[in-house]
């Protein structure tokens, strides 16, 4: 066991980890941040996406020890300071971009990363960027719509609500 320290959602944290402890396990079991989900064992589903130093990573594929000293942001750190939903979170609610909620943390983290890189993505760009995030409930329609809406684009023509 070795001690690892990092910043998670703006707070300094540390804990004892084994060499094989994954970042997802450290967040979930070590820190109790269970919003980060694990939906597969092959780095495909994307439910575990968090930001490490601003970049989206699949936390099930990173050893906790490898991100010592980094700044990690999880779904629990996405809301505004006053607790209200951030723009991307609010767009997911407004446009029904989630159903069972299991893939949602990863979807939100990936979508936020996309908008940071590309503030006005096209539909095709959104779909391409989210290729590493699997959703079984929504058929992706309302997720794509929510991301485009969060970027300030008019999505009213996409479906009546």
Partner 1 sequence: MPKDHGIGASTKRREDIRFLTGRGVYTDDMALHGQTFAVFVRSTVAHGRIKSINTAKAAGMPGVLAIFTGEDFKDVGGNPAGWLINSRDGTPMREPKRPVLAHGKVRHVGDAYAAVIAETYAQARDAAEQLAEDSVIEELPAIIDMKAAVADASNRVHDEIPDNLCFDWGWIEDNRAAVDAAMQAAPHKVTLELVNNRLVPNAMEPRASIGEYNPGTGDYKLTTTSQNPHLTRLLVAAFVLGIPENKLTVVAPDVGGGFGSKIYHYGEEALVLAAAKKLGRPVRWTAERSESFLTDAHGRDHVTKIELGCTKDGQILAIRTETLANVGAYLSNFSTATPTFLHGTLMAGPYKVPHVYVNVKTVFTNTAPVDAYRGAGRPEATFSLERVIDKMCRELNLDPFEVRRKNLLTPDQFPYTTPVGLVYDTGNYQATLDKAMAMADVSGFAKRAAESKARGKLRGMGLSTWIEACGIAPSHLVGILGSRVGLYDAATVRVNATGNISVMVGAHSHGQGHETVFPQIVAEKLGIPESSIEIVHGDTSKIPFGMGSYGSRSLAVCGTAMAKAVDKIIAKGKKIAAHMLEASEGDITFEDGKFQVAGTDKAKTFGEIAFSAYVPHNYPLETLEPGLEETAFYDPANFTYPAGAYICEVEVDEGTGKVDVVAFHCADDFGNVMNPLIVEGQVHGGVGQGIGQALCEFTAYDETGQLLTGSYMDYPMPRAEDVPFYNVDYSCQTPCTHNPLGVKGCGEAGAIGSPPAVVNAVIDALQRGGHTHVTHIDMPVSPSRVWSAING
Q: Name the site residues for partner 1 (rule: CB under 8 A).
A: 18, 20, 28-29, 32-42, 44-45, 47, 74-76, 78-79, 85, 89, 92-94, 96, 98-105, 108, 123, 126-128, 130-131, 133-145, 158-161
**Is the Cα torsion angle 109, 95, 132, 119 positive or negative in sign?**
negative
**For partner 1, the closer CB: 70 or 104:** 104
**For partner 1, the closer CB: 69 or 154:** 154
Please, what is the minimum distance in Å from the beta carbon of residue 55 to partner 1? 19
Q: Which helix (H) or strand (E) holds 58?
A: strand 55-58
d(CA 53, CA 74): 11
d(CA 8, CA 106): 16
Residue pair 96/139 in contact (Cβ under 8 Å)? The answer is no
d(CA 133, CA 131): 6
Please, what is the minimum distance in Å from the beta carbon of residue 128 to partner 1? 6
**For partner 1, the closer CB: 62 or 143:** 143
Helix (H, G, I), strand (E, B) or coil at 73: strand
Please, what is the minimum distance in Å from the beta carbon of residue 67 to partner 1? 19
Please, what is the minimum distance in Å from the beta carbon of residue 15 to partner 1? 14
């Amino acid at each position: 066991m070795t001690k690892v320290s990092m910043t998670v959602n703006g707070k300094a944290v540390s804990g004892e980890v084994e060499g094989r402890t994954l970042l997802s396990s450290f967040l979930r079991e070590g820190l109790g941040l269970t919003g980060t989900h694990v939906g597969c064992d092959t780095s495909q589903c994307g439910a575990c996406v968090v930001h490490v130093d601003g970049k989206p990573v699949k936390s099930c594929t990173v050893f906790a020890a490898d991100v010592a000293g980094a700044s990690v942001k999880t779904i629990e750190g996405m809301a505004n300071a006053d607790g209200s939903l951030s723009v991307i979170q609010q767009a997911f609610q407004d446009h029904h971009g989630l159903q069972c909620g299991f893939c949602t943390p990863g979807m939100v983290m990936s979508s936020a990363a996309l908008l940071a890189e590309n503030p006005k993505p096209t539909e095709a760009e959104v779909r391409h960027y989210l290729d590493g995030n699997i959703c079984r409930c929504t058929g992706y329609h309302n997720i794509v719509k929510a991301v485009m809406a969060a970027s300030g684009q008019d999505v009213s023509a996409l479906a009546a609500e």
